[in-house]
A = this chain, B = another copy of it.
């Protein structure tokens, strides 16, 4: 049930010969490397603040430094890493204030997605969201945290898709990736008040979406993200002050 995200990055992908299906793979070798490297970093294989070892990654992905550095430049523009002049790349470490800023942008993007979704969503797509909502509610009653999260993410994802706006979807994915590293120590399991509140907010979300009330849905979604941020720990994964492990 965990998101059916296309994940061609089987991690290994090192010196293994591309004897599989090169046809589609060749279609965008650079794009493949970019996606793999992005996943590699987003997954947390490198500590925040740590140097990005070019040579090692070259060996791991079986390429030379040129395409790798191209990918690094792109990842820097995406905000995943910092590029220090003559000092290499480092995994971007999020401070508390930066995390707040990113959450606010996510809220704004979801608000926009909700507004657009109200204009464009089909009845079938709405029905699917409604189904997911009820499934999520069932998980909530069961105290099934895992199922709840899965449905939750699926719902937000469907709303973004229903907005039918490619730049929005891309930007949304970008920021979601940047925030993937933050650990939500405030598990809803130990924060039942927030869980109930979130569930009520989702009731409002579904209601507004049902009425195609874009303006309202927009506001609810932004506040929903705000509350989610407040409930989330403002601490990044693996603090590691000077863990510039080599």
Contact = CB atoms under 8 A, between A and B. Distances in A.
Contact of A83 (B30, B76, B108): B30
A168 B78 contact: no
Bin the interface of chain A by size.
35 or more
Given A73-B73, A83-B30, A171 B168 contact: no
Nearest to A77: B74
A215 B77 CA distance: 31
A112 B104 contact: yes
Q: Give this chain's copy count.
A: 2
Contacts of A108: 108-109, 111-112, 115, 168
A165 B109 CA distance: 14
Contact of A115 (B28, B171, B222): B222
A30 B74 CA distance: 12
A29 interface: yes
A101 B166 contact: yes
